[in-house]
Structure formats: structure tokens, C-alpha cells
Amino acid sequence: MDRSIKIAPSILASDFANFGLECEAIEAEGCDWVHVDVMDGHFVPNITFGPATCAAIRPHIKTVMDVHLMIAPVDGFLKDFADAGADVLTIHAEAGPHLHRSLQYIRDLGCKAGVALNPSTPASAIEYVIDLIDLVCVMTVNPGFGGQKFIHSQVAKVEQLRAMIGERPIHIEIDGGITPQTAPLMAAAGADVLVAGSAVFKGGSVTNPAPYGENIRAIRSAAQAACK
Ligand code: DX5
Ligand code: ZN
């Protein structure tokens, strides 16, 4: 499995009127995955968009469409997001009582299955589903908004997850408050996918995308330096 550092810009911090062009711009500027944040105003205190928007974005993504579902109950919507073209479907461990069943269903739909853990949720939440997942997403902010402050206590959780995962082909993704300053802490702890919204999109636009590339390279090189 590819454990090299991958940068996944969150389009939550992009121009909502230009999702297609924004996805093309970040890919042209060197991102590895595209992170798509779906919020329902119920599981989290914010609303973004649903499967129709994901389907509209899909043709503009050549890399990996990484869909983070902050919705509950989630099961009734999984097929819609799979049909919209998600490569990875990540659900929250806290979003329902039947995590095992939901993960099986995601794989049956042909997607990679991810579990996201809120800052207060222990690493042990994935213990009995570890062989059903392709990714664990450690939330380093409380989900719902971009631009929040990184929660340092999550470094220890990533170290625990790295030990639990061993040689299994499971990505450790970090979501929230990632910058060139915080990325190295998580790379050293064992993370390989770094989601970044504000820190990638700041200073740029679809007509001036060069800052996206500079921001991506700054996060990547800081993280890579910590992996040695
Ligand atoms: C938060 C989202 C994140 C968010 C990250 O609920 O899941 O993906 O967009 O944004 P930044 O990088 O600005 O913290
Ligand atoms: Zn996210």
C-alpha cells in the first residue's frame, strides 16, 4: 500500500460557485486526492450539499474523490453517494448504532470504506471493524466548519491507530487545522493522507491558482521531512 504523504484539499474552503474549476485547479497544482465534505445540519451544525452536487463534481476529478459524510442516519444515502462516483466513502463512527453493517454496505457498493473519529472518540472504536475498513479519518477539529484550530491531543490517537493497523492496508487520514506547522506532527505519528481546506485555498482562486500549488507543496514538504 502507498503510505507516502498524500494531500487532499477540502473543497469546503473553495468557491462554491466554481466547484468543477476548483477541482481542476487543485489537481493541476499537484494535489493527490480531492476531499468532499457533506454536512446535514443535524449530525453537524452546518449544511453543505448532497449527492447531486457530488455527481456534478465527479467529471472534474481525475484523482480520488474522497467523500466525508457528516450525516446521520447515513445508511439510506450511501447508495446515492456511491452512484455519484465516490471512490472513498467515509462515515462517522458516532453517526449510528450499526457501524459494522454500514461498512459492509459501502464495500458492497464498490467503494473504499472509511471511518471518521471525532476528537472525543477513542481509537478503540474501530477495533472490531478494522478488517472492514480502508481508511480511518482522525478529526483534529470538531466537524462542521473549516478554519478551526488543530486539537493537539489527537497526535496520541494517531500513534495508537498506527500500532493497531500494523501491516493492514489502511490509510490514516487527518482532517482539520492542517498547515505546514501541524502536518509534520501527524506525519511523524503515522498519518499518510492530510486533508487541508483553508491552508490550501488561501491566497488563490481559479483565475490565480499558483498559490494552491505553493500551499500544497509547503504542506507536503513539511510532512515529508517529518517522516524520515
Ligand atoms: C470539517 C471538515 C474539514 C474541513 C477542514 O468538518 O471535515 O474537511 O474542511 O478545513 P480546514 O483545513 O480549514 O481545517
Ligand atoms: Zn472532512
Residue-wise pLDDT tens digits, 164-179: 999 999 999 999 999 9
From the candidates 37, 40, 87, 192, give the one annotated as an active-site residue.
Answer: 37
Q: What is the pLDDT of residue 4?
A: 97
Cα of 142 vs centre of ligand 1, distance in Å, is: 9
Q: What is the pLDDT of residue 13?
A: 98
Q: What is the pLDDT of residue 72?
A: 98
Active site residue 32: no
List residues bridging with 9 in a β-sheet.
Answer: 196
Q: Which ligand is nearest to the CA of 68?
A: 2
Q: What is the pLDDT of residue 50?
A: 98
Q: How far apart are the first and last CA of the chain?
A: 18
With a 6 Å cutoff on the Cβ, whether 9 touches ligand 1 is no
Q: Which ligand is nearest to the CA of 12?
A: 1
Q: What is the pLDDT of residue 47?
A: 98
| Residues contacting 152, CB < 8 A, separation 6+ | 185
Q: Whose CA is nearest to atom 9 of ligand 1?
A: 146
Determine if the peptide bond prior to 73 is cis (ω within 30°).
yes
Q: All 3 cell numbers of residue 112?
A: 473504499
Is the torsion defined by CA of 138, 176, 228, 189 positive or negative?
A: negative
Cα–Cα dist 189/136, whole Å: 14
Cα of 148 vs centre of ligand 1, distance in Å, is: 8
CATH architecture of the domain with residue range 6-226: Alpha-Beta Barrel (3.20)
To test ligand 1's pocket by mutation, which of 7, 11, 12 has the most ligand atoms within 8 angstroms of CB? 12
Q: Whose CA is nearest to atom 4 of ligand 1?
A: 146
Q: What is the pLDDT of residue 21?
A: 98
Cα of 49 vs centre of ligand 2, distance in Å, is: 13
Q: How far is CA 85 from CA 1, 26, 117, 193, in A?
A: 22, 19, 23, 20
Distance of CA 49 to the CA centre of its chain: 16
Q: Where are the domains of the chain?
A: 6-226
From the candidates 66, 87, 175, 192, give the one annotated as an active-site residue.
Answer: 175
Nearest-Å Rg of the Cα atoms of the chain is 16
Cα–Cα dist 138/116, whole Å: 6
The residue ranges of the chain whose pLDDT is under 50 are none
Q: What is the pLDDT of residue 138?
A: 98
With a 6 Å cutoff on the Cβ, whether 184 touches ligand 1 is no
Q: Whose CA is nearest to atom 10 of ligand 1?
A: 146
With a 6 Å cutoff on the Cβ, whether 40 touches ligand 1 is no
pTM over 0.75: yes
With a 6 Å cutoff on the Cβ, whether 197 touches ligand 1 is yes
